[in-house]
Structure formats: C-alpha cells, structure tokens
Amino acid sequence: MKGLVVRVVLAVTRWRWVRWIFTRTRVGRRVSLRFVAGETLAEAIEVAVAANRAGMPVSLNLLGENVGDEASARSSFDSYVAAIGQLRQHGVDGNISVKLTQLGLGFDVELCEQLLGDLARRASAAETTLTIDMEESSLTDATLDIYQRAQQAHGNLGVALQAYLRRTPQDLARIASLGGHIRLCKGAYDEPESIAFRSRQDVNDAYDALAETLLADEGLMPALATHDDARVAAAMTAVDGRSAPYEFQMLYGIRVSLQEQLVDDGVPVRSYIPYGEAWYPYLTRRMAERPANLWFFVRALLGH
C-alpha cells in the first residue's frame, strides 16, 4: 500500500501544473520553502545558526544529484568547500552531507573518490565531519565501497543506511568495524519487493532491530534519522545503559515540535538542513514518504 501511495504522489508532483504551483507562485514557494532552508548558502547558514541557538547541531545538504559531467561534479565540490568554510567562519556546530552522484559517481568513479577525499581532508581541517547520503539500491555497493576506502584513509566520515533494504543488516556488519557515524533512515526510494520491505510494519520492525544493533555498539556513533514517535520511543529504550554518544537526526521543517521536545528533554538532535536551487525533487520525496506533508501543502495553498 505504501509503495502505491509513493508512486501516486510522485506521479502527481510530476504534472506540469503542479510543479508550476510549487515553483512559480508566491504562495507555493513560501509553503515549499518551509522544508528547505533557502536557495543560497547564506540562507542555509542563517538557518543553521538559528538551529544551534535552539540547541541543535546541523548537517548541511546541497540539494541535487546525478550530475552528468566533470564540470558539474566540480561545481558541487566547490559548493561544499564553501559550505565547510562558512560553517567554520560562523562558528556553526555542523557538518555536511553529500550524495556521491553529485561528485560524479554516475560516470567517473575515480573522479568521485578524488573529490570526496579532498572534501574529507577539508572537513578534517575545519574540525568537522562528512556524511555520505545513500541513494537508490543500484548504487549501494559502490557507495559502501567508496565509503570504506575514504573512512579508512581519513577517519572522519559517516554513511547513511536504509532500513527498508533487505541487505542492510549485512551492510551494517560489514562497515561497523570502520567506526564513524551511521545515519539510519527508513528509505525514500521506490524499490521492488525483492530488494526492499514494502509493508509499514516490516519497515518499522527492520528499523527498530537495526537501531538496537547500532546502539549496542559503543564503537559507532548512531544517528537515528526518524520522525516516527514509535521509532523514537523504541530507540530511547535501547539507549538505556549506553555510555557512548548517539543522536537523532531530523529534517528541517518536519515535526518541529517533536524536535523541540526532545531537545528540551536533553536528547541530542541534529537538524538536517537542505538548501539550493534543485529543491523540487527533494520536496516531492518528502510528500511521497509522508502523505501528511502533502495535506499540509494543500491546506496552506488553500489558505487554511
């Protein structure tokens, strides 16, 4: 059922008039950018500073993926170098999150690894870290291979794992010895049943089991990316007795009251802050993975 909802929502958001409402009308853009820090790095830094003041470190993510040439990959690299510099200049407690297809994974693995290694070195010099976002399952092997080599070389990286993929327990076992931080999310891509769990209950069960495994490993830094009350509650039970750091990671603009409550309770929460001009595909995935977000957009556009 969830897969059907995802496919329907993604199909609707591809309609030209729907895209026009969200990207070209004043009300549509205002509502949409509730979930995106802005189109510029300066706007993202402003949001990051505010998040720090509210007690949350941040992770900046330049929106965009699947670049098709070296010039575009190097442009993404330059943008992330600038983000690292601005984090340090403004004294922001934060890091960066990168999709490898932004750095050329789709057409030149060697270039991608070179750019990622340079970003890791620059992040290290700025006393921060770098997280590799996970993309479609067809890229999982390549992403983990590159992460393993980069983490062994630099030691300041992390990677995202998707709980709905049937392979994830084995992937976690493979990379656990590398240390680093592991962001656990449910998964936002439409994958076939042979590769991914499709029922909500199966995904939730997989998430809880993986979170428990992560939290039991004192050598890892678990980053639990969820806005689900039940998943948060299960993780908090698993946290009991843990002496090593951990954190929740939540998307900017999603479940704001939950984020504030956790921070008030002394629970570590990192705000994942997307920004950039390529924000519409990101927006459509947020609506597809949580239909309540779509209802929020409709109500806001109708003035309610």
Residue position matching structure tokens 């042979």: 194
The one catalytic residue among 7, 53, 174, 183: 183
Q: Where are the beta strands (DSSP E) in the chain?
A: 58-62, 94-99, 130-133, 157-162, 181-185, 221-225, 247-251, 269-275
Q: For this structure, is 133 an active site residue?
A: yes
Which of 230, 182, 176, 181 has its CA nearest to residue 203? Answer: 230
Question: With DSSP H G I counted as helix, E B as strand and the rest as coil, what are the percentages for the chain, rounded to 5?
Answer: 55, 15, 30
Q: How many angstroms separate the CA atoms of 211 and 240, rounded?
A: 13
d(CA 288, CA 290): 6
Which candidate in 133, 171, 208, 228 is catalytic?
Answer: 133
| Spatial separation of the C-alpha atoms in residues 122 and 114, rounded to whole Å | 13
Which residue is it, tokens 């998430």? 207
Distance CA 24, CA 56 (A): 32
Residue that the structure tokens 């990168």 belong to:
98
To the query of whether residue 108 is one of the catalytic residues in this protein, the response is no
Catalytic residues: 133, 183
